[in-house]
Amino acid sequence: MSNIAVAPTKGQLLVDIEDMSMLKDIKKAISMVKGVGKITLSNRKSCSSYERSLRELDEGRVYEYDNLDDLIKEIEG
């Protein structure tokens, strides 16, 4: 008696991408793999401005100014 394994006809692969600027290149590379039919990007949860602010704080994208005049000078360039 022999056992024959049947390969699934269809499946999904979930990939976590840390650097979204690489998304286009990653999609292109995955599409070149034989057997890949369709690539879809799941909808990301939209963040509130408060959640975005917390993320920016965690990532160190925070700037400090001594006073409003310094901020205005920075904005004007």
Residue pLDDT, tens place only, 12-59: 888 888 888 988 999 999 989 988 888 888 776 778 899 889 989 999
The pLDDT assigned to 36 comes to 87
Residue 65: per-residue pLDDT: 92
pLDDT at 1 exceeding the cut of 60:
no
Q: For the full predicted model, state whether its pTM sits above 0.75.
A: no
Q: d(Cα 64, Cα 30) in Å, to the nearest integer?
A: 42
Place of tokens 């001594």: 66
Task: Read off φ and ψ for residue 7, nearest 5 degrees.
Answer: -75, 140
pLDDT per residue over 54-74, tens digit each?
989 999 988 899 999 999 999
